[in-house]
Structure 1
Amino acid sequence: MKWSSAVGILVLIAGSAYAAEGGPQGVQLGDIDRKAEPCNDFFAYANGAWRAQNPIPASMPRWSRRWAAGEANKDRLKIILEAAAATKAQQGSIDQLTGDFYASCMDEARIDRLGIEPLKPQLTEIASIRDNAGVQREIQRLHAMNVSMPFNVYGWSDDRNPNDVIVQIDASGLGLPDRDYYFKKEPRFEEARAKYLEHVQKMFELAGHTAGDAKVAARTVMRMETSLAQHSLDNVALRDPKSTDHKMTFAQLQQLTPHFDWQQYYSTSQLPRGELNVAEPEFMKEVDRQLAATPLADWKTYLTWHLLHSAAPSLSKPFVQEHFAFNSAYLEGAKEMKPRWKQCAESADALLGEAVGKIYVEKYFPPQAKARVQEMVQNLRLAMGETIEGLQWMTPATKQRALEKLATFNPKVGYPDKWLDYSAVPISRDSYWNNVIAGRQFNIRDNWSTIGKPLDRGRWGMTPPTSDAYYSPALNEIVFPAGILQPPAFDLAASDAINYGAIGVVIGHEISHGFDDQGAQYDAQGRLHNWWSDADLKAFQTRTACVVKQFDGYFIEPGIHHNGRLVLGESIGDLAGARIAYRALEISRRGKPPLPTIDGFTPEQQFFIAWGQFRGDEIRPEFARSMVQGDPHPIAKYRVIGPLSNLPEFQQAFQCKADAPMVRAAEQRCEVW
């Protein structure tokens, strides 16, 4: 599943995120850098003062009001979880589950005292493997605990028949961020490989291996992962859904990987043997080759490593610190770990998210907020419809199919109508790692239980407290959890211009994902099916090529620039999102008085400043390099200046001259939707 992200900030005001005193609130005046010129560098102008006054916290790889939102959400989860932990609750109740989970996580003294001990049952299982069949049984056992290697098995909608949920098999099992880290010759990738070897060795030493044995184990892991990476698709190829569409029968899967006993795997996992999809057949052939050719001892080392890698954040302090040192400090530039309570809140949300989320929405997401956002979503859909109808480059027949797709969009706002039932999950205060396993096993079983059944469109792919949003092409749905619908992304007290400039652009962004380079390949029923005429598709691709070229030219430092093809979908989303949100704001005012100028800023200026302030991240160089390598989102600076420099409405709002840096010449201007 490919989801787009956007995050907002939370402000606690007398126990609520919302306030409505006085007139409508405008832009954050203190965030604006008055020394910067909006027509020269709107990113610096809109949020430069805030970034200068709010350095990145030591535990974060980037920082802004929107990232502060996600962290403030965890402050709220802390309140919820501490209250639950202090309650003597009935077994299986939300308070018992979340409270005991949180209490077990916060019992650092016990966790540190136990060290590697909680992992001994799984480590012993791996050590006792005697043959190839044992390797395969262990892969299944680890999958059931959400340790996904060397491949991943899960249930998801069939790209060709989206109302059916089928087995999906993806490539997995790499410890470095993506395949290119194993091969690229630039010094930063060579250094990453060396650091990874050191990290793997240290983790084996913490697990009780001698330094010599641990060094050999690390080399074994690197050798196996490099071979797997060599047969993996790169990040750009993975963006094309056709490159991962390989539907087959159970018998064909067995023929593809003859050395793997899929009957045993399916039987143990209780999976129906219907049609399935293998995202990367060449990768699975390499897994099969390694099953036949790689020594048993090497497989045991590989399985042990991925168990250690997956469990480390849930074990004693030395494991947590070493996991942080490589994955957060080295790869992302973080200077220190988040406080323990925050790690525990994140873990509770990840594993028991709808239990925690049910309390969260009761406390922090009032009904009037949901109603207002639903109204905004409707106006954004109207704006997208008007945009499609007005396109000069699209023929009427293709327009009609685009409008049909728009009409089938399913918006989800705030929280699910039906909540997951966690009451049978065995959570206690005795063992944090056992609780983690229980939560993981519940979520894996819950997902596997959907396979072979009609698609349940009521399910959510994010928890309610999540400060994010997504679009699903197969389900043709846009989803906005309560965690993102908070000030200043969305605020009942804010001017409409502010709300449409912040969360409105996010809503438009998610709608436009249905029509980006990926989403445009899915039809109104969510099928991977071409609904374009040849001429219209060619015109669309010409317009998207403009966006690729624009973002290819954005450097984060000398010698390192964005890959326009990798960030194409998100950049189309930002460009179209800003354009249709601006139109939706106009739609919202039809038949109503004009919006007011606030603090000297016109409604049009408020709209664009709201987007600049919402997206205003300061980022560590290590994390920026990681994003450019593998993240489909551009860094925040270019998510602001990139789309806005294409909009005549922005130029007009700030009266920018034609040759200003924030104004792209007409012949260079990108316009997709």
Structure 2
Amino acid sequence: MLSIRPLVLALTAALAATLAVHDADAAKKKKAAPAKKAPAATACTDFYAFSNADWLKSHTVVAGDGSVSALGEMRERSLQQQRDLLDAAMRTPQGNVQKLLGDFWASGLDEAAVEADGSKSIAPLLGRIDAIKKAKDIPPSIAALHQVGIPVVFNFSPDIDLAKFDRHIGYFSQGGLGLPDPAFYTRGDADTKALMARYTDYVKRILTLTGTPQAQLDADTKSVIDLETRIAQASKPLTSFRDPRTNYAPMAASALGKQYKRLQMAEFLKAQGVSNDTVSLANPQLFAQIDNLVGSLPTAQWKAYLRFQVGNAMAPYLSKPFRDAEFDFRGRLLRGETAPEPRWKDVLDAINTAAGPMLGREYAARYLPAATDSRAEAIAKQVRETLAANVERSAWMSAEAKAEAKKKLNDLKIEVGTPNRDLDYSVQPMGRGSFGGNMLIASTWRHREEMKRIGQNNADRRWDVLPQQPALAYDIAQNRLIVTAAMLQSPVLDMGKDAATQFGTFGALVGHELSHAVDIKGRLVDAGGGLKSWWTPADDAAWQDKANKLAAQYDGYAYPDLSGVKVNGRQTSEENMADLAGVELAYQAFAGDASANTEAGKQAFFKAWAGLWAQENSAEAAKVLAASDVHAPGQWRANGPLVNQPAFGEAYKCKATTNMQKAPAEQLSIWR
């Protein structure tokens, strides 16, 4: 229900695609059927298969788009942990926040109560829409829906001020459409027409469920499609959001009221609790169009549009007819799902959407011991210090770039577990009678807390990921490493394992992310937070030379589970470079531990790295990943960096003539 913040998403490099690989079939995994015996992999022929032999034997996927991975299993475990926490909060809540969460959870799991409640929770919203009489009544209704977390007509949300990264300002951006891409409304090809026909049917179903009279259905459905089409025609292509700078257009909020009089923008901001005088509005043509539509379209058309938007946004949280309509269109058609998720997962998703920070606070308190937090921070600091030392002695980086890189690394913050939030957890009591009502209460709370950030110099007190979601990321805007509570468990950081394993997993992932502070992406933001490149042309040329050679290495790798397909070394280049950097940095940081001097310790480090990337993909999933994923498949994320590590060859006694070790003169390095 809440709008997406494209700027920070574009500015943050994260270990996201790895965890987003489809693991829908993980629960259906079966023991692999016996296959023809092939020569067993050795450490020097295929280290990935050698290290993960037991895992690969015990995991397989069913036909379709299924995938199973070691990191995906960790994500599934984090979902179960959240479920267990909410079950406990439902039975015996400890404190006010758990009472809120427990009631929210109970109201969603009680399907009989959800059916009995029907669409009563949205009746007040629909009643307000029905009361619209004149054009001047439309903007207050738009503002009221934004307040409860239903952004209609356009999006308005806090995001970082690109002129001052520690501050949030309010961004007016395009939105208000029931389909994900404005192009769907304007393209004329057969596939798009077929999709629009299905969407028209969906609009009609939702309008019916919100109480639109039968005699009015066809006309109101056409009204909704027509208004959305007009908005889409003035919207930018989705590709324009790739560069955050093109969507940054600061202006005085006081000028909005004069520029878009019918939209009553000053009153809109006041309703959201925003008093800051600077906002960003990068598509004035769109808002001019909307302003004109408020005054030129019949109020009946606006009422039909707003009724649909309420029903569409709330459909997953209401009775079964609403949920069925939403799943038939969005689930089956747009997301390609064959069946709805189990009820508990849908309810958990709703809670994370509307009350995610509340759940994150309780999750970290329950599942992140202080010792784990401290260990993670200690390893991360060691890796950061190792990177700083390597920058200092780098043979390819210029003196100017080294100076700026050292400043960035010296100022780089490490945040583990949860963000330094300053949220107000006072919320209207929820109760267990209305899941839809609780969703609106929680969404109103989250919207209120988000709006408070606008105009404040507290961008560093906010993450764009929840503590209960596994993530490890370098935030380029705030120059910080973010490690969520859910990430600090096996196989990433297992407190029951030795230092070799911890550095081979968590340390290498930290090195991967920290390398982004000073790599081809990190060079775009200087130590002071300015958007400018601090590399010299020689630095850029040296990096590109390394990247080209590594891309050629990965171009030679066969894509697992696909016949005749190779890894795309260019597509995966930046992440392959970060993987290489991560292994180099973590191994050097590990060298300070006593076990680094033993053969067993060295072998454990590399085996831990390979274990992170265990995965099985169906052919269908592999095709999608090969075409779109910016990460190499697991086999080559494991093996690719290791062929360039002399320490790996020494640990497993692999000669340069084997698959797993390049000749010394051919080995690539970034920070070694």
Q: TM-score scaled to structure 1, two decimals?
A: 0.80
Matched, 1:645 2:640: yes
- Name the residue aligned to 2:89: 84
- Name the residue aligned to 1:18: none
Aligned partner letter, 1:340:
R
Question: 1:166, CA displacement in angstroms?
Answer: 1.7
Question: 1:366, CA displacement in angstroms?
Answer: 1.4
Matched, 1:503 2:498: no
Aligned-pair Cα RMSD in Å:
4.6
Runs of 5+ consecutive residues of structure 1 not aligned to the other structure: 10-29
Question: 1:524, CA displacement in angstroms?
Answer: 1.9
Question: 1:547, CA displacement in angstroms?
Answer: 8.5
Whether contact under 8 Å (1:331, 1:623) holds in the other structure is no
Matched, 1:618 2:613: no
Deviates more, 1:506-515 or 1:656-665: 656-665
- Name the residue aligned to 2:265: 262
In structure 2, how many angstroms separate the alpha carbons of the residues matched to 1:62 and 1:580? 25
**Paired residue secondary structure (1:411):** strand
Whether contact under 8 Å (1:521, 1:531) holds in the other structure is yes
Match of 2:250 among 247, 259, 276: 247
Match of 1:166 among 169, 187, 198: 169
Question: 1:259, CA displacement in angstroms?
Answer: 4.5
In structure 1, how many angstroms separate the alpha carbons of the residues matched to 2:291 and 2:564? 39
Question: 1:160, CA displacement in angstroms?
Answer: 0.9
In structure 1, how many angstroms separate the alpha carbons of the residues matched to 2:611 and 2:669? 22
Per-residue CA shift, 1:518-570, capped at 9, x if unaligned?
Answer: 543222233334434455456657777888999999999899999999x77xx
Whether contact under 8 Å (1:414, 1:480) holds in the other structure is yes
Q: 1:379 to 1:41 in 2, by over 3 A?
A: same
In structure 1, how many angstroms separate the alpha carbons of the residues matched to 2:535 and 2:258? 35
**Paired residue secondary structure (2:469):** coil
Match of 1:129 among 121, 128, 132: 132
Q: 1:276 to 1:45 in 2, by over 3 A?
A: farther
Q: 1:582 to 1:559 in 2, by over 3 A?
A: closer
- Please give the residue correspondences for 1:176-575 in structure 2 after superposition, counting only pairs within 5 Å: 176-179=179-182, 192-209=195-212, 220-226=223-229, 228-229=231-232, 231-234=234-237, 236-253=239-256, 257=260, 259-281=262-284, 283-288=286-291, 290-291=293-294, 294-416=297-419, 420-455=423-458, 457-515=460-518, 519-533=522-536, 536=539, 572-573=574-575, 575=577
**Paired residue secondary structure (2:465):** coil
Q: 1:642 to 1:598 in 2, by over 3 A?
A: closer
**Paired residue secondary structure (1:502):** helix
Per-residue CA shift, 1:45-101, capped at 9, x if unaligned?
Answer: 7668756754558999644232232222232222222222223777xx123211211
In structure 2, how many angstroms separate the alpha carbons of the residues matched to 1:552 and 1:225? 44
Question: 1:434, CA displacement in angstroms?
Answer: 1.6
**Paired residue secondary structure (1:162):** strand
In structure 2, how many angstroms separate the alpha carbons of the residues matched to 1:250 and 1:309? 30
Whether contact under 8 Å (1:228, 1:283) holds in the other structure is yes
Question: 1:378, CA displacement in angstroms?
Answer: 1.1
In structure 2, how many angstroms separate the alpha carbons of the residues matched to 1:330 and 1:98? 32
Per-residue CA shift, 1:496-535, capped at 9, x if unaligned?
Answer: 4443343334323432343465543222233334434455
Aligned partner letter, 2:92:
T
Whether contact under 8 Å (1:81, 1:98) holds in the other structure is yes
Number of equivalences: 640
Whether contact under 8 Å (1:370, 1:414) holds in the other structure is yes
In structure 1, how many angstroms separate the alpha carbons of the residues matched to 2:185 and 2:39? 45
In structure 2, how many angstroms separate the alpha carbons of the residues matched to 1:365 and 1:594? 28
- Name the residue aligned to 1:13: none
In structure 2, how many angstroms separate the alpha carbons of the residues matched to 1:204 and 1:664? 67
Per-residue CA shift, 1:183-228, capped at 9, x if unaligned?
Answer: 6788776665454444334333433447886566555545544554
Whether contact under 8 Å (2:169, 2:280) holds in the other structure is yes
- Name the residue aligned to 1:100: 103
Q: 1:432 to 1:384 in 2, by over 3 A?
A: same
Aligned partner letter, 1:579:
A
Q: 1:59 to 1:85 in 2, by over 3 A?
A: farther
In structure 2, how many angstroms separate the alpha carbons of the residues matched to 1:320 and 1:239? 33
In structure 2, how many angstroms separate the alpha carbons of the residues matched to 1:656 and 1:200? 64
- Name the residue aligned to 2:160: 157
Q: 1:126 to 1:661 in 2, by over 3 A?
A: farther
Q: 1:432 to 1:235 in 2, by over 3 A?
A: same
Per-residue CA shift, 1:603-642, capped at 9, x if unaligned?
Answer: 46414412322xx36369489759967xxx53x6546536
Q: 1:428 to 1:51 in 2, by over 3 A?
A: farther
Whether contact under 8 Å (2:140, 2:268) holds in the other structure is yes
Whether contact under 8 Å (1:115, 1:315) holds in the other structure is yes
Deviates more, 1:465-474 or 1:552-561: 552-561
In structure 1, how many angstroms separate the alpha carbons of the residues matched to 2:232 and 2:665? 43
Per-residue CA shift, 1:354-377, capped at 9, x if unaligned?
Answer: 433343333322111111111221
Match of 2:587 among 585, 588, 592: 585
In structure 1, how many angstroms separate the alpha carbons of the residues matched to 2:143 and 2:154? 10
Whether contact under 8 Å (2:253, 2:276) holds in the other structure is yes
Structure 1 vs Structure 2: percent identity of aligned residues? 24
In structure 1, how many angstroms separate the alpha carbons of the residues matched to 2:104 and 2:69? 30
Aligned partner letter, 1:443:
R
Question: 1:386, CA displacement in angstroms?
Answer: 3.7
In structure 1, how many angstroms separate the alpha carbons of the residues matched to 2:550 and 2:191? 28
In structure 2, how many angstroms separate the alpha carbons of the residues matched to 1:115 and 1:281? 40
In structure 2, how many angstroms separate the alpha carbons of the residues matched to 1:304 and 1:519? 45
In structure 2, how many angstroms separate the alpha carbons of the residues matched to 1:123 and 1:367? 48
Q: 1:233 to 1:523 in 2, by over 3 A?
A: farther
Aligned partner letter, 2:143:
Q
**Paired residue secondary structure (1:488):** coil
Aligned partner letter, 1:618:
N
In structure 1, how many angstroms separate the alpha carbons of the residues matched to 2:425 and 2:237? 37
In structure 2, how many angstroms separate the alpha carbons of the residues matched to 1:650 and 1:544? 16
Per-residue CA shift, 1:444-501, capped at 9, x if unaligned?
Answer: 1111112222225334433322222333332222211111111112101234444334
Deviates more, 1:451-460 or 1:554-563: 554-563
Question: 1:145, CA displacement in angstroms?
Answer: 1.6
Q: TM-score scaled to structure 2, two decimals?
A: 0.80
Whether contact under 8 Å (2:48, 2:635) holds in the other structure is yes
Q: 1:597 to 1:336 in 2, by over 3 A?
A: farther
Runs of 5+ consecutive residues of structure 2 not aligned to the other structure: 1-7, 21-33
